[in-house]
Structure 1
Amino acid sequence: MVTYIEENMAGSIAGFNVLPIRLNRKSQSGHVLYYKEHNIRGDSASLPPDRTIFVLNVPPYCNKDCFVRLFSDCGRVDSVYLQEKPTSELLPKSTTKYFSHENISQGFKVAYVVFKSPSAVEKAMNRKHSEPYILISDDQPALEAGYKKWCTEYKSERPNLKDLQKEIDEFMQTYDQKVSEDIQKAKEEEGTPDDEGWITVTRKGSKKQKPVARKEHIEKQLKAKEKKKREDKELVNFYTFQVRETKREHIAELRRKFEEDKHRIAQLRAARKFKPY
């Protein structure tokens, strides 16, 4: 039974070839993949334009083995990359098992199929798909779908603690060795003049300098800066009670200054030598 989608989506749409697929022969619903030549500016080491096709609308149950079976009649498939979104250059392969930077979406995604020869891309673009391709048949391994797929992925995400600890220890050992080599290299380069006579001075390996004692005027300046920062962050006179408190503080400050002025005038009068009265 061919669905309405499969009957009306064969051919090409907006430069994309349409490849109808079905999960198995008993499946009543179909799906379509859209693919075209991967055209980018410049050369890409991982995705050569003359040997790569770009595939859209890839369902979650479609893995790399599916694409090998889908396009093996066009030519030998060198590699298949599944990505969350289109890209011009793939990320380098991760050397770690548990801290991989590859982010493969669990939903729909895109794929890049790299062939061994450029002629395979031309065959794939000229191929006509009259019937949907069956992903699962008697002579092909079954694909995990539904709850079985999610259970397998859940188990694979739970690492072995011994292997994880071993990988962490190896990473830290490599990192510590690199840091020590950098420090040793900086020490060797320090004090050695270059071709122009300049000497490189680094802070690595140097003794820590004793902190300089703060003077009184420096302490006042720092406190004034900190107070200004706090005042800038605070909402001044935003609420009614803040306005009242500001007025009250202003009046108290005026009274304090008035009393200081009275006391200063009294001292000046007491210190006068000429007293006419």
Structure 2
Amino acid sequence: MAAPISHGHVLVEGFTVVPVRYSAKSKAGHCLYLKSHNVQGQDGFKPRERTLFILNVPSYCTEACLKRVFSPCGKVLNVYIHDKPTSGPSPPKISKFFPLTTESLGFKVAYIVFKDVGSVQKACQLPYKTPLILSTPETPLLTGMRKWCADYAARQVDIGELQTEVSNYMEKFESRMEQEKEEAKEAEGVPDAEGWVTVTRHTKNKAAVKFAVGEHRHRGRKRKKEKDIASFYSFQLRESKREHIATLRKKFEEDKQRIALMKAARKFKPY
């Protein structure tokens, strides 16, 4: 089915198709799919009226590149690139040397936040016959061998920066541990809403081991109950053995009397 063409721009399933090329000399093309960002609820980072949602973004495309390409539609405030559609901003890079997530090499999605409401509509009306150029001589995008070399150089660890980051992390960690220790001391002996009392024991390695007194008492009652049940069954077992022995004794006495009668009946009486 042919895509509908309206005023020079092509629509496919509600998305505006915009062709792009890596450079002005490139013969191979690529297409981006644009539409207004519509989600339920309010998103402070990506307002619905001023956010453009883009699919099929190449992995080599950067936030600066998208900002430059769509700036003619209006002033761009923020650009977010994600591996898949999501709400909120991109996760912050806490560490330079220890990233929490790995970068995806496939196509991505992007969100462009404009200053004016009409900028999204202008972007969705971009003509299909005029491709956008991603890499220019003034702002080139690194690909191929140059990108690999740049990535390799970026992965080289600077010992001084690494030591500084590790030292800062350890200072924050120790400060957080001291704060938790102080909070545990303040909360010690104070019952909570359910009546539980938290008792803290500090070991030699300064680690706090917490347990609840109520839980300890509950375990004691549970063990006592199990012991009582075991004692009850032991009492029943002793009583059953005693009754069985008494029954055997009674039967033994009856058998003795029966044997005595039988012996008396067999005696010879001539007169």
- Give the Å deviation of 1:51: 1.8
Q: How does 1:1-277 map to 2 (within 5 A)?
A: 11-101=10-100, 103-138=102-137, 140-192=138-190, 200-205=197-202
Q: Look up the match of 1:266.
A: none
Query: Any conservation in 2 of the 1:190–1:199 contact (CA below 8 Å)?
Result: no
- Whole-Å separation in 1 of the counterparts to 2:139 and 2:181: 54
Change (3 A) 1:201 1:147: same
Between the aligned partners of 1:197 and 1:37, the Cα distance in structure 2 is 50
Pick closer, same or farther for the CA change 1:162–1:202 going to 2, 3 Å: same
Q: Which amino acid aligns with 1:72?
A: S
Which segments of structure 1 move beyond 6 Å, counting only runs of 4 or more? none
CA contact (8 A) 1:82 1:104 kept: no
Q: Deviations over 1:47-83 (max 9, x none)?
A: 2222211111111222112211221011111111111
Amino acid at match of 1:106: L
Alpha-carbon distance in structure 1 between the residues aligned to 2:20 and 2:42? 32
- Matches of 1:132 and 1:58, distance apart in 2: 14
- RMSD of Structure 2 on Structure 1 (CA): 2.7
Instruction: Quickly say closer, same or farther: Cα 1:45–1:96, change in 2 above 3 A.
Output: farther
Instruction: Report the more deviating stretch, 26-35 or 60-69.
Output: 60-69
Tell me the TM-score normalized by structure 1: 0.64
Question: Alpha carbons of 1:48 and 1:179: their partners in 2 closer, same or farther (altered >3 Å)?
Answer: same
* Greater Cα radius of gyration, structure 1 or 2: 2
Displacement of 1:118: 2.1
* 1:123 aligned partner, one-letter code: K
Greater strand fraction, Structure 1 or Structure 2: 2
Give the aligned residue type for 2:104: S
Distance 1:184 1:27 in 2: 64
Aligned length: 199
8 Å contact from structure 1 (residues 94, 102) kept in 2: no
Instruction: Provide Cα deviations, 1:77-121, integer angstroms capped at 9, x if missing partner.
Output: 111111112213345423332233354322321111111232211
Relative distance call for 1:91 and 1:204 in structure 2 (3 A) is farther
* Whole-Å separation in 1 of the counterparts to 2:90 and 2:101: 8
Pairwise CA distance, 1:135? 2.3
For the 8 Å contact 1:53–1:113, the answer to whether it is kept is yes
Aligned equivalents of 2:59, 2:116: Cα separation in 1 = 28
Residues 45 and 95 of structure 1, relative CA distance in 2, 3 Å threshold: farther
What's the offset of the Cα at 1:197? 11
The gaps in structure 1 that reach 5 residues or longer are 1-6, 209-277
Q: Deviations over 1:162-193 (max 9, x none)?
A: 21121112111111111111111111221346
SS in 1 for 2:106: coil
Give, as a single letter, the amino acid of the residue that structure 2 aligns with 1:151.
C
Deviation at 1:160, TM superposition (A): 1.4
1:142–1:46 Cα change, 3 Å: same
Q: Percent identity?
A: 38
Provide, for residues 195-244 of structure 1, a one-character-per-residue CA deviation record: whole Å limited to 9, x for no partner.
x8957323343899xxxxxxxxxxxxxxxxxxxxxxxxxxxxxxxxxxxx
Cα distance change of structure 1 residues 110 and 199 upon mapping to structure 2, 3 Å threshold? closer
Q: What corresponds to 1:234 in structure 2?
A: none
